Amino acid sequence: MLETEHGFLVTSPLLTAFIMSRHLTDLQLLLVLAEMCGLFTVCALPAALEAELSRAIESGAIPATFGWARCPSEDGAASNLWRRDALVLGGDLDRFCSDVCGMRYGKRFVAVSHLVPLGAASPFEVETYLLLGLPRSLGGEGFCGIELNVEVALSASARAIVGKSRVYIDLLLSSLDGERQVAIECQGKGSHGRAGDGLRDADRMTALQAMGYDVFLLTHGQISDEDRFRAIVKAVCRLLDVEYRDKSSEEQGAEALLRSELFVDWSKLGEIDKKMPVRYKKARSWTAANLSE
């Protein structure tokens, strides 16, 4: 740990996650790592700290942009969602896993780390990614090779639509042969996490369609409703020329378990409930490596 001039201690994000991991379910650990490896954070500042931050910015003691940029909420007010560079890069995570794989809880940490999406720009993107990309045995849809925040250089006609030379696709799904692609856009500036880019969701969608992409605009209500989400998944399968297979009873149970924990209050993510029974955590364990730990 390092002591700062501001009166608090800082430590390695990955070491913190590893220490916390024994108190968290597998999905909770996965979400913690996804935020650390993402381009966002959800942080609800105490009123006193919020006021001190405002005073410091207004007085010029610190710049208005200090590495973190606050994203607007749906009503334009200050939100708890911030945009920032990733705290942990993929290579950092791999090296840390190599160091802890032989420790107690290490195998479980490594197994969960293999499922972590890198570079998500919001909780919404993480939730969508996991619902689409996790194996069916863990409650997802099993789509492979999902890319996050893919940069697209626009053609002249697409640039005329948005007045930008490039845009970013939130999630890009590709067919196995790479010939068909579907762009998933997480709709809503409060959950989108890209404040200040000057692009409305409809403009970005139209520009991507002009480039030949099939585009789905997803709302949080659509991914949180099983029937609506399943209809979207079937439509994506048709566009990717993939046959949709109904889930087995075991896979349906895994999806129900996933959904029961996925839609959390991210400002409270990682808070440890020491009263949580061990049997609860084991019931939410995905990794066989955890059986002996």
Residue 15 identity: L
Per the CB < 8 A criterion, the answer to whether 152 and 208 are in contact is yes
What percent of the chain is modeled with pLDDT above 70?
Answer: 83
Written as six digits, the tokens of 229 are: 């989400």
Q: Is residue 172 part of a domain?
A: yes
The span from the CA of 219 to the CA of 217, in Å, is 7
Neighbour-count burial for 15-50, b at 16+ CB within 10 Å, e otherwise: eebbeebeebbbbbbbbbbbbbbbbbbbeebeeeee
Report the C-alpha gap between 179 and 51 in whole angstroms: 52
Indicate whether 260 belongs to any domain: no
d(CA 145, CA 117): 11
Asked, for residue 251, whether it belongs to a domain, the answer is no
Q: Give domain status of residue 69, yes or no.
A: no
**Tens of pLDDT, residues 28-55:** 999 999 999 999 999 887 778 778 877 8
How does residue 8 score in pLDDT terms, banded at 50, 70 and 90?
low
Total domains in the chain come to 1
With a pLDDT cut of 90, the percent of the chain lying above it is: 61
Has residue 32 been placed in a domain?
Answer: no
The per-residue pLDDT for range 204-253, each reduced to its tens digit, is 889 999 999 999 999 999 999 999 999 999 999 999 999 999 999 999 99
Q: How far apart are CA 276 and CA 29, in angstroms?
A: 15
- What's the angle, vertex CA 209, arms to CA 205 and CA 214, rounded to 5? 95
Residue 74 confidence class, pLDDT cut points 50, 70, 90: low
> What would the DSSP string read from start to end of 165-214?
SEEEEEEEEE-TTSS-EEEEEE--HHHH--TTS---HHHHHHHHHHTT-E
Buried b (16+ CB within 10 A) or exposed e, 215-224: bbbbebebbe
Residue 39 and residue 125 in contact, taking contact as beta carbons nearer than 8 Å: no
Supply the range of the domain harboring residue 153: 120-245
DSSP per position, 226-244: HHHHHHHHHHHHHHTT---
Q: Note the pLDDT tens digit of each residue in 140-199.
A: 999 998 999 999 999 999 999 988 899 999 999 999 888 899 999 998 644 444 433 434
Listed in order, strand segments (DSSP E) in the chain are: 2-3, 9-10, 40-42, 69-72, 78-83, 147-153, 166-174, 181-186, 214-218
In a domain, 23, yes or no: no
CA 41 to each of CA 8, 69, 115, 185, 251: distance values in angstroms, whole numbers, following the listed order = 19, 10, 19, 19, 31
Q: Is 222 contained in some domain?
A: yes
- Within a domain: residue 155? yes
Could you tell me the pTM of the whole model? 0.86
